[in-house]
Amino acid sequence: MEIKKHFFFILLLLCSVQLHSQHLVRMFAEVDTEKQVLAVKEEITFNNQTNDTLHSVILNDWNNAYSAKDTPLAKRFSDEFVRAFHLASDNDRGNTTIHSVSDQYSLSIPWQRPEGHPDLVELRLNSPILPGRQFKITVNYHVKIPADRFTRYGYNDKTKSLILKDWFLTPARFENNQFAKYSNENLDDIANATSDYYINLTVPKNYYLTTDLNEHDKYDKKGLWVYELEGNNRLGFTIALDQFDRFEDFKTENATVVCNFWDGRVTEVQKNTIINQIALFTQDKLGSYPFEKIMVTQTDYDRNPMYGINQLPAFISPYPDSFIFEIKFLKTYLNNYLKNTLKLDPRKDNWIYDAIQIELMIKYIEQYHPDRKMMGKLSNWGILKGHKIFKMDFNDQYSYVYLLTARKNLDQPIGDPKNTFIKFNEQISGKYRAGLSIYYLDDYLGENIVPATLTDFYKVNLSSRVTNRNYFKNILNSKTTKNTDWFFDTVVDTRDIIDFKFKRVIEEKDSLKITIKNRKETEVPVSLYGLKKGKVVFKQWLEGIKTDTTLTVARQDADRLALNFNNEIPEFNRRNNWKRLDKFFPNNKPLKFTFFQDIEDPNYNQIFYVPSFVFNIYDGFSPGLRFHNKSLLDKPFIFDIEPTYSIKTNELIGSFSLLFNQYIRIGQLYSIRYAVGSSTYHYAPDARYLKFNPSVLFRLREDDYRENKKQSILVRQVLVNREKSAYIATDEQNENYSVFNLRYSRYESEIIRHYNFFTDLQLSGSFGKVSGEIQYRRLFNDNRRINLRLYAGAFIYRSTDSEFFSFGLDRPTDYMFDYSLYGRSETTGLFSQQYVMAEGGFKSKLDNRYANQWMTTANASFNIWNWIEVYGDAGFIKSHYTDAEFVYDSGVRLNILPDYFELYFPVYSSNGFEPGLGNYDQKIRFVVTISPSTLVGLFTRKWL
């Protein structure tokens, strides 16, 4: 077997040795730092290293991705609600201007940008390149470098510095008889062919140049510095230009580390020690770095930081300054080390980069900081010690963060192309899942098989032009007799979740008869532990458990059994992984009350409590205490009880809800939420309402998770009981009533375009009505923004004379208590001016504010400068025994934060010229959102 293993690896290594030289790129470039432009003459000696005759060649030109507002890069920004790129000037966005392309005979080569890929260049060769032959291409072009505020690469207007990465033309990766045609989507996954670079770069004398290329010479030419740079067998390189020398060189046994991490709190001695330690660790785990220098820049870290550490304010400082520097450097160093050496397809096989990076980070912490807690020294604060999150080891964060998306049914297969991931999966959760998965494989195989595989895979990459996941799989399988198909076919290529539990355990003298249930039927190995007084007395891996499986094991004096005890498996739910063998104690978990909120603790049934408040003018700022079981990870069943004390009425008010979320893993219907809720607050100074609301919500999404498109179907019954009030006229029909509501909604949203549509049916004993709404927002290329809305509603039947259930022209009566109205019964004063975009959507209060037969309105607004807009509303309203009436209004809207903070100033309406009618301050309308849960959605939409 050993001879077979060694023979296989030697054969694989020989097959990957380069039989032909790399592409050769000679570049003569002059930098104009004032205009942020590079004038480039580039000579590419293209070596056909394939077995195909090539009639065309693809060059990557990722700098041109910044050239317009409709490129794939711009679309990515829009999908993630990043406005800066769309609002930027053409000068800030950058571009590539190609002046000429010729061959070795000085004949012009026709070129074009492939449809849908403005950041690629396709050369139609005048004569084909035969296998093993060379062909020379000369390109003259100008590169306008973009501002760094979009991707952090580019020029910084404040410091006048430039970070240049992926700015030049270079041959694209060729594999499986085709060139990789990947556009720049801000993912650091450019698919370059391996090339040798020789660069002659001219820069102003007042600029320092730093690069990971080798610097052969530097000389003066007409008051400018000319650098001669060289790099062999490279996938790319980085150049930094700055008026100040911000980089330091650190000599290690492996290579010179060029770093500009800005942290004055860490001494030079500490930096040297940390950098040398990380360099030696990486060399030991993978192999020697093949180049003389490696750059580790603050820009690289800022693009993909260690989330958690970078979010905490400096005054908290939960970790020593040296550890913060260490973990930041470790993550960035490993990323650049792998990206510069592995010859993988960085888009299709990105999971391998992530898996190796995160697993090495886990092992580094195990080796050098085994006692480090995830929350650092905050774990020692007395008030926090009772929280599970403050007891967790540093490495525990990876599994919990992965579960953030898995529990929301938003996780994606780690083996999918990188550009298909939602942002949270691409930058955080998917990376962690990849690292956890290979750590899982390592624990299962044991015998140093995975570490040896990584070392050999790294060696193959150093000697190969291209590699892929099959190289990794073949090396792994050559070292073990165990089946690893489950890892590649299930863990990597599917989003099947892993969840095992104990079904029953029967004690038989010195043995245990154990039945294990595979709750999701994902057939992967699971680890079984026996514990005695918290210490492991045995561990074994179980395989082939697809359904309920019974096995017998020796008890070995264990008093407790556990599945996945050390969390080596990225499991969906660990709360069902325990079984006590002491029959004097029940298996039920004890209750644990925790202040505020906590991470999920599988050892307890958790109940969280937190102070809260609600506000309306009838109850005032009312304090309360909220009890719930919603941890930082979503659960199927959630209860939420919020008793509150009304300081104005001296009565108990509040709400409760019971939710059950059914997540469906396959298909467009991905969630069904069953809910029962109730609330009671005051709707008038002397009267309260009680609302009871059972409902079922069906949610649908596109197969492509990056599409910001969702659909929902809501079925609910709203039962309302209103006390009589001396201030508000009520009758029997609008005191106690029940409404059946069926609503279909659909929305599609991104920064440049938002669309939503709904239809609504309401049936009650005294009325039936149907309505629909279409809303559309568009941000144009000239940065003008338009909002359009159409609404129509009509009664099917009606047997009440009250206007309480009528359509509202400027504000709904909200008889189902769906909106957060601070003064819902007010007709004058500040709180009567609160605006809700619903039903008629008018801003002016007209004489006839309600329609008891039908209503149709149109609302529009258009920005004239930044967030200052003009608006107009028009429509028809119809009530019984009156003719249809045309109504309109217009004014100015300050759209400071759409849907969260807005002001409306009426100008002209059916009433006349509003400012001239008196009491103008009472006509101004406002939108103010103070709900924390609503505001959170504003910040999470770009991630999920």
Predicted confidence (pLDDT) per residue in 257-269, tens digit: 999 998 778 999 9
**What is the pLDDT at residue 8?**
45
870-882 b/e (C-beta count within 10 Å ≥ 16 → b): ebbbbbebbbeee
Per-residue pLDDT at 193 exceeds 60: yes
Residue 358's CB is within 10 A of a number of other CB atoms, namely 23
In 473-584, DSSP assigns E strands to 500-508, 511-518, 526-532, 535-542, 549-554, 560-563, 578-580
Question: Taking residues 649-669, what's their average pLDDT?
Answer: 95
Q: What is the pLDDT of residues 410-425, one digit of tens each?
A: 999 999 999 999 999 9
| Residue carrying structure tokens 């009304």 | 646
**What is the pLDDT at residue 18?**
40
Question: Taking residues 721-750, what's their average pLDDT?
Answer: 89
569 vs 731: which has the higher pLDDT: 569
With cut-offs at 50, 70 and 90, classify the pLDDT of residue 899: confident
Cα-Cα end-to-end distance for the chain: 48
Per-residue pLDDT at 317 exceeds 80: no
**What is the pLDDT at residue 263?**
78
**What is the pLDDT at residue 141?**
98
- Residue 674 CA to residue 502 CA, distance in Å, equals 27
| Residue carrying structure tokens 């180049």 | 291
Q: What is the pLDDT of residues 455-501, one digit of tens each?
A: 999 999 999 989 999 999 999 999 999 999 999 999 999 999 999 99
**What is the pLDDT at residue 9?**
43
| Residue carrying structure tokens 């026709």 | 110
How buried is residue 746: exposed, middle or buried, by Cβ count under 10 Å (0-12/13-18/19+)?
Answer: middle
**What is the pLDDT at residue 380?**
73
**Contacts of 65-70 spanning 24+ positions with Cβ under 8 A:** 65/118, 65/119, 65/183, 65/184, 66/93, 66/94, 66/95, 66/146, 66/150, 67/93, 67/94, 67/95, 67/96, 67/118, 68/93, 68/118, 69/752, 69/781
Per-residue pLDDT at 312 exceeds 70: no
| Residue carrying structure tokens 């000389």 | 219
Per-residue pLDDT at 7 exceeds 60: no
Of 793, 791, 698, 706, the closest CA to residue 746 belongs to 698
With a pLDDT cut of 90, the percent of the chain lying above it is 80
111 Cβ contact partners less than 8 Å away, ≥ 6 residues apart: 98, 101, 121, 122, 123, 124
34 Cβ contact partners less than 8 Å away, ≥ 6 residues apart: none
Per-residue pLDDT at 12 exceeds 50: no
Question: Taking residues 170-188, what's their average pLDDT?
Answer: 96
Question: Taking residues 45-65, what's their average pLDDT?
Answer: 95
- Ranking 9-13, 289-293, 387-391, 590-594 by mean pLDDT, the lowest is 9-13
589 vs 720: which has the higher pLDDT: 720
- Ranking 350-359, 500-509, 588-597 by mean pLDDT, the lowest is 588-597
**What is the pLDDT at residue 5?**
45
Q: What is the separation of C-alpha 3 from the centre of its chain, rounded to a whole number of angstroms?
A: 47
Per-residue pLDDT at 732 exceeds 80: no
535 Cβ contact partners less than 8 Å away, ≥ 6 residues apart: none
With a pLDDT cut of 70, the percent of the chain lying above it is 94
Mean pLDDT of the chain, nearest integer: 92
Per-residue pLDDT at 909 exceeds 90: yes
Residue ranges in 601-744 assigned as alpha helix (H)? none
**What is the pLDDT at residue 414?**
98
90 Cβ contact partners less than 8 Å away, ≥ 6 residues apart: none
pTM of the full structure: 0.91
With cut-offs at 50, 70 and 90, classify the pLDDT of residue 943: low
Contact 119, 63 (CB under 8 A): yes
Strand 111-112's sheet: what is its strand order?
Answer: 111-112, 120-129, 54-60, 170-171
Question: Taking residues 49-66, what's their average pLDDT?
Answer: 95
Q: What is the pLDDT of residues 383-405, one digit of tens each?
A: 777 788 888 899 999 999 999 99
Secondary structure letter of residue 108 according to DSSP: B
Q: What is the pLDDT of residues 206-242, one digit of tens each?
A: 999 999 999 999 999 999 999 999 999 999 999 999 9
Question: Taking residues 562-572, what's their average pLDDT?
Answer: 95
- Residue 65 CA to residue 81 CA, distance in Å, equals 18
Please report how the helices 430-445 and 397-406 are oriented relative to each other, as an axis angle in degrees rounded to 10.
120
21 vs 144: which has the higher pLDDT: 144
